[in-house]
Amino acid sequence: NPAAENILASASGDFTIKLWDIGTGQSTHSLKHNDIVQSLSWNASGSLLVTTSRDKKIRVWDARAEKPVHEAPGHPGAKNSRAVWMGEHNRFATCGFSRMSERQIALWEPGRNEPIGGFTMLDSISGVCMPFWDEGSNCLYLAGKGDGNIRYFEYENDKFEFLSEYKSAEPQRGIAFVPRRGINVHENEVMRAYKTVNDTYIEPISFTVPRRAETFQSDIFPPATGLKPAVSAKEWLEGKDGIPNKIDLESVYEGTAPKEVVADYKPPTIASAPTPAAKPAPKPAPAPAPEPAPVSRSPPPSMKDQGASMANMASKFKDDEPAEPEVEDDNSSFEEVQRPAQRAAPAAATPARVEHATKIPSPIKPASPAFKSPASTSQPSPIKQAAPSPSSSGHIESSLDQIRQMLEQQTKLIGKQNDKISQLSAEVEGLKRKVNAGGSQDQSERIRQLELELEAARS
């Protein structure tokens, strides 16, 4: 436990985690799981414990109450997964595998069923990834078991940003990081690890910041967790929490006695799982709209009624001119033509017919003659035709000139084509004579080409 004195947690093959009071040598609490526990990690105050197990579940425990305060599905892969609490942050990180055996990393908030930002794929190496948290630099170190690589990420804005990677040809079987109070501040060392190589020796690995170390670098060396616990074992078992005081690393840099800094403790909170949205209240059924009354239809009109209606419509468009007086059959002009001997005495011309004839003159067609009644004279007057207008005659003349020019051009074109056809025919005949006299293959091809041109010209 990072805050309580002489409190230790251990996992065993009986699917339990036991809490021990080292001072008395007695087990104080037991946390039962459904499968083998693969990893465990305390939060900064030692009140909560996060565990991963082979049943692919992640559990956050209230250690003193011996019950999980939250349980969520973890990495879906079949291989081991690891968890580490991120110091005083209300977050923890996990490493595991996907269903396709790809190594993953995830960031969690206690109380949530899904990781923040989802699972992030790292690579396809088969070795289990072990996470380590550095509170001073807010960095997460990932060391692969069985390979020589150590990656480190910076935690900012609820996500991990990749910084760099330490690579070595010697794979590590196990690895551990020293507390931050044990680093060399004069060499700008921010972290130090020790790894086992082939089970033969232990190799130190130093992580430093490349800058000149003439003065103390306060931005990379904040106060580190001290040696004195915040509460005793008895106080912790009674429910008291706290965070150990910190050490000012500037006093370590100057070589004086370590100066303690009081820690600002904030109790952790467990986020509540999102509750399902309440179903909206059913809307009241809309009132039925009033239906229109059916329109009563009268019986269809009869044929007689339809005929009368059409007659009324036709009367609206009837001409308003006075009707001409009817002429008896005996006085008809046609009858007079057939029987000239029985013509009546001359009578005055009907004014209505003359007025009607002079109302519609045509500028292009010959003017209609004003006929006189045969009864007015013994001999019909000769019909006079209107002279054509000068505008229409000029238009006709220009059209004829255009037609003449087109005919002349076509005549010239036909003559040129006939000359070309005659020339090609003569050339073909000459080549045929040469071929018959023993011409070459080229000449035969030339003849064939000329024949094709001749056919095209004729068409």
| Residue at 273 is within a domain | no
Q: Answer yes or no: are the C-beta atoms of 189 and 195 closer than 8 Å.
A: no
CA distance 40 to 8: 12
CA distance 144 to 96: 11
| Residue at 435 is within a domain | yes
| Residue at 266 is within a domain | no
Stated pTM of the model: 0.58
Report the pLDDT value the prediction gives residue 179, as an integer from 0 to 100.
92
Q: How many angstroms separate the Cα of 344 from the Cα of each of 213, 327, 350, 354, 380?
A: 148, 13, 15, 21, 15
Q: Which of 176, 198, 220 represents a domain boundary (last residue)?
A: 220
Report the pLDDT value the prediction gives residue 267, as an integer from 0 to 100.
67
Helix (H) or strand (E) holding 303: helix 303-316
Q: Which of 220, 244, 275 represents a domain boundary (last residue)?
A: 220
Full DSSP string of 127-174: SPEEEEEETTTTEEEEEETTSS-EEEEEEETTEEEEEEEE--SS-EEE
| Residue at 228 is within a domain | no
CA distance 189 to 18: 36
- Is 31 strand, coil or helix? strand
Burial class (CB in 10 A: 0-12, 13-18, 19+), 4: buried
Report the pLDDT value the prediction gives residue 453, as an integer from 0 to 100.
82
Count of structural domains within the chain = 2
Which residues of the chain fall short of a pLDDT of 50?
276, 323, 325-337, 344-386
Per residue in 275-286, pLDDT (tens digit) is: 545 555 566 666
Report the pLDDT value the prediction gives residue 395, as an integer from 0 to 100.
77
Q: Give the relative orientation of helices 441-458 and 390-436 as an angle to the nearest 10 degrees.
A: 160
CA distance 14 to 234: 27
Q: Answer yes or no: are the C-beta atoms of 242 and 44 closer than 8 Å.
A: no
CATH code for the domain in which residue 40 is found: 2.130.10.10
Number of Cβ within a 10 Å radius of residue 89: 18
Q: Determine the structural domain holding residue 420 and report its residue range.
A: 404-458
3-state SS, one letter per residue, for 57-106: EEEEEECCCCEEEEEEECCCCCCCCEEEECCCCCCEEEEEECCCCCEEEE
Contacts of 120 (CB under 8 A, 6+ apart): 104, 105, 106, 160
Torsion sign across C-alpha atoms 208, 211, 212, 216: negative
Report the pLDDT value the prediction gives residue 279, as an integer from 0 to 100.
56
Contacts of 6 (CB under 8 A, 6+ apart): 21, 22, 23, 232, 233
Report the pLDDT value the prediction gives residue 426, as an integer from 0 to 100.
85
| Residue at 177 is within a domain | yes
Q: Answer yes or no: are the C-beta atoms of 35 and 16 closer than 8 Å.
A: no
Q: Which of 167, 202, 220 represents a domain boundary (last residue)?
A: 220
